[in-house]
């Protein structure tokens, strides 16, 4: 998922997407530990998506703290 797509989502949608990806990462790690993971690159992609969401959330937080709207 691209950062530009994430910036279009509201805080509630970002929170749900973050929770979903965190759960997916847990499941992928579990599959990896039991040698059932078919695509190991999915681990990396999920971690990157989580980082992108956290980055967008942090950008919004700093924008609110500064009192400016730079979206």
- CATH number, domain at 57? 1.10.287.310
Q: 17-67, pLDDT tens digit by residue?
A: 999 999 999 999 999 999 999 999 999 999 999 999 999 999 999 988 888
Single pTM value for the model: 0.86
pLDDT at 64: 86
The total number of structural domains in the chain stands at 1
What are the residues whose beta carbons fall under 8 Å from the beta carbon of 28, sequence distance 6 or more?
37, 42, 43, 46
Q: Is 25 contained in some domain?
A: yes
- Cα–Cα distance measured from residue 50 to residue 59, given in angstroms and rounded to the nearest whole number: 14
pLDDT > 80? residue 10: yes
- With 80 as the cut, is the pLDDT of residue 69 above it? no
In a domain, 57, yes or no: yes
């Amino acid at each position: 998922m691209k950062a530009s797509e994430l910036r279009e989502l509201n805080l509630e949608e970002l929170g749900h997407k973050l929770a979903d990806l965190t759960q997916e990462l847990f499941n992928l790690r579990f599959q990896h530990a039991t040698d059932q993971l078919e695509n190991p690159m999915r681990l990396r992609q999920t971690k990157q998506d989580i980082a992108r969401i956290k980055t967008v959330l942090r950008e919004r937080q700093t924008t609110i703290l500064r009192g400016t709207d730079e979206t």
